[in-house]
């Protein structure tokens, strides 16, 4: 801090003098050897201990002086040393199990229908987390953020407006956990995928009081107490095994036991057809919800229901296989995405010649896939 009476030199030019006053907070008045007061930017002067205003003699170490200090083990003044100390990471009791959350926080909770939102990753454990934050774009993924988050902290990911909520219809967090400078229990690398319901961002009660933010937030568990909270990705081998389990048990026109399902013949059910409605001549809409296809699910497990839904899906595509350009919307719902994943698997491997995309959100909500026959 420069004060009146200090001897100073100029940084940007030769010369210097004694400080006689201040013109303002940014300009210092320096009296030179001829008695003239020179106004000079305060950040362009440096205090010296003698009347030698040569730059290399004004108290600034030259390269030779630095080398002299090193060669003669001369200890630097404490103020000249670089600050390298960093607070050790604080661990907490109960933090050895991985708990990580994806959080969405409205910037102005009082204007929830208009406000922007911030996305955070919350690390509620004693491990460092190296992560990637991604969003789905059809069959590909877009990297939204990547980095490292320290133990027991939260990290800002992005700010977004509700116009891009459709981009966040499906997001994924991939991560690996570790500790620094100490031994730790090895945790497997993992990923979790989420269906983000855009409708929730319009409802005030969606955002809850929580332990991580001073304002209400919408929080999705990524992993909690070492358990992946939403394992949306279904293992391909397990899915295939489930899809074709007991596939040969019944070759009739009834997909499952007659006591539990409605019969259909050549693509038509007795009673209500599973092709629930026709939007127009080019689009057929098929609702694959179990309650639309089955009279009752009593006696059926999840695999039985999934197999039946897929059987309806396959028979529908087979029915329209010669109708080139035909569009079929399959309503599968959001849920945990198991049925949708099974449908996408079928389209990628069994029905490769057909194209597909998310159906219109406005017309069918956020749980429908449109297939085009080619």
Looking at the structure, tell me whether residues 197 and 301 fall in a common domain: no
Domain of 190, CATH number, reads 2.60.40.1600
With respect to residue 179, please indicate whether it lies within any of the assigned structural domains. yes
Looking at the structure, tell me whether residues 68 and 107 fall in a common domain: no
Looking at the structure, tell me whether residues 348 and 257 fall in a common domain: yes
Whether this prediction's pTM lies above 0.85 is answered by: no
The average pLDDT across 217-239 equals 71
Q: Which residue has the higher pLDDT, 121 or 196?
A: 121
Mean pLDDT of the chain: 77
Q: Which residue has the higher pLDDT, 67 or 127?
A: 127
Among the listed residues 119, 130, 124, the one whose alpha carbon sits nearest the alpha carbon of residue 194: 119
The per-residue pLDDT for range 245-290, each reduced to its tens digit, is 544 443 333 333 333 333 333 333 443 344 544 445 578 899 998 8
Tally the domains of the chain: 3
With respect to residue 319, please indicate whether it lies within any of the assigned structural domains. yes
Interatomic CA distance for residues 25 and 30, integer angstroms: 14
> Could you give the angle at the alpha carbon of 7 between the alpha carbons of 5 and 12, nearest 5°?
130
Looking at the structure, tell me whether residues 220 and 283 fall in a common domain: no
Alpha-carbon distances, residue 191 vs 100, 103, 286 (angstroms):
11, 16, 32
Among the listed residues 317, 311, 323, 302, the one whose alpha carbon sits nearest the alpha carbon of residue 264: 311
With respect to residue 176, please indicate whether it lies within any of the assigned structural domains. yes
With respect to residue 326, please indicate whether it lies within any of the assigned structural domains. yes
Provide the sign of the torsion angle of the four alpha carbons 359, 361, 363, 366, taken in this order.
positive
Q: Which residue has the higher pLDDT, 157 or 303?
A: 157
Share of the chain above pLDDT 90, in %: 30
Highest mean pLDDT among 64-73, 124-133, 181-190, 344-353: 124-133
pLDDT band, very low/low/confident/very high, at 60 (cuts 50, 70, 90)? very low
With respect to residue 88, please indicate whether it lies within any of the assigned structural domains. no
The answer to whether 169 and 366 are in contact (CB under 8 A) is: yes
Looking at the structure, tell me whether residues 75 and 187 fall in a common domain: no
Domain that holds residue 125: 100-228
Interatomic CA distance for residues 218 and 208, integer angstroms: 6
Provide the 8-state DSSP code for 203. -
The average pLDDT across 190-217 equals 87
With respect to residue 90, please indicate whether it lies within any of the assigned structural domains. no
The average pLDDT across 216-226 equals 92
Whether the pLDDT of residue 43 is over 80: the answer is: yes
The per-residue pLDDT for range 314-324, each reduced to its tens digit, is 999 999 999 88
Among the listed residues 97, 311, 120, the one whose alpha carbon sits nearest the alpha carbon of residue 223: 97
Looking at the structure, tell me whether residues 215 and 248 fall in a common domain: no
Looking at the structure, tell me whether residues 246 and 210 fall in a common domain: no
Looking at the structure, tell me whether residues 128 and 36 fall in a common domain: no
User: Which of the residue ranges 63-72, 281-290, 318-327, 354-363 would you say has the lowest mean pLDDT?
Assistant: 63-72
Whether the pLDDT of residue 41 is over 60: the answer is: yes
Interatomic CA distance for residues 205 and 200, integer angstroms: 9
């Amino acid at each position: 801090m420069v004060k009146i009476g200090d001897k100073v030199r100029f940084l940007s030019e030769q010369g210097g003098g004694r400080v006689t006053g201040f013109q303002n907070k940014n300009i210092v008045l320096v009296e030179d050897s001829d008695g003239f007061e020179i106004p000079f930017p305060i950040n362009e002067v440096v205090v010296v201990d003698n009347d030698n205003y040569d730059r290399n003699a004004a108290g600034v170490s030259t390269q030779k002086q630095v080398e002299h200090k090193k060669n003669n083990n001369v200890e630097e003044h404490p103020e000249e040393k670089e600050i390298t100390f960093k607070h050790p990471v604080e661990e907490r009791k109960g933090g050895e199990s991985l708990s990580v959350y994806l959080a969405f926080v409205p910037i102005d909770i009082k204007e929830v229908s208009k406000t922007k939102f911030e996305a955070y990753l919350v690390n509620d454990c004693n491990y460092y987390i190296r992560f990637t934050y991604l969003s789905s774009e059809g069959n590909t993924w877009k990297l939204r953020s990547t980095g490292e988050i320290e133990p027991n902290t939260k990290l800002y990911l992005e700010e977004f407006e509700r116009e891009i909520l459709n981009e966040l219809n499906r997001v994924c967090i991939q991560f690996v956990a570790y500790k620094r400078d100490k031994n730790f229990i090895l945790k497997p690398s993992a990923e979790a995928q989420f269906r983000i319901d855009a409708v929730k961002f319009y409802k005030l009660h969606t955002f809850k009081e929580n332990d991580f933010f001073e304002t209400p937030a919408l929080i999705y568990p990524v992993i909690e107490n070492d358990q992946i909270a939403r394992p949306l990705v279904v293992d391909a081998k397990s899915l295939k095994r489930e899809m074709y389990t007991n596939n040969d048990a019944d070759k009739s026109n009834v997909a499952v036991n007659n006591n539990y399902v409605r019969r259909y013949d050549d693509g038509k059910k007795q009673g209500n057809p599973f092709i629930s409605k026709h939007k127009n001549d080019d689009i057929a809409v098929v609702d694959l919800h179990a309650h639309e296809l089955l009279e009752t699910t009593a006696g059926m497990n999840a695999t039985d229901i999934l197999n039946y839904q897929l059987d309806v899906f396959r028979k529908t595509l087979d029915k329209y296989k010669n109708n080139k350009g035909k569009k079929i919307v399959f309503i599968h719902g959001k849920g945990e995405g198991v049925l949708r994943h099974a449908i996408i698997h079928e389209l990628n491997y069994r029905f490769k010649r057909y194209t597909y995309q998310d159906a219109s959100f406005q017309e069918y909500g956020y749980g429908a896939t449109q297939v085009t026959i080619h």
